[in-house]
Amino acid sequence: DGDRRITAGELSAYVADRSEGVPYWARRLYQGRQQTPGFFGDGERVMVELE
C-alpha cells in the first residue's frame, strides 16, 4: 500500500492470491496440485520495514 512496510496480512494476501501466489504456482508446477497457504495471528503485525 506504499507505506514501505509489509504486514502479516499483506504477506498472507500475496502468497494466497489464486492468480499469482502459491495456489497458482502449485497448480502450474505440480500438475493441478492444490495448496492454500495460511497465516495465523495478528494481520497488522509488521514483518518488514524498508528504508
Torsion angle, alpha carbons of 16, 21, 26, 32, to 10: 80
For the chain, give every domain's residue range.
Answer: 5-49
For residue 15, which of 49, 39, 47 has the smallest C-alpha distance? 39
Beta strands in 1-51 (DSSP E): 5-7, 46-49
* pLDDT value of position 47: 96
* Site of grid cell 495456489: 23
Q: 1-51 pLDDT, tens per residue?
A: 899 999 999 999 999 999 999 999 999 999 999 999 998 999 999 999 999
Take residue 38 and report the three cell numbers written for it.
495460511
Going 5 to 6 to 8 to 10, the CA torsion angle's sign is positive
* pLDDT value of position 17: 96
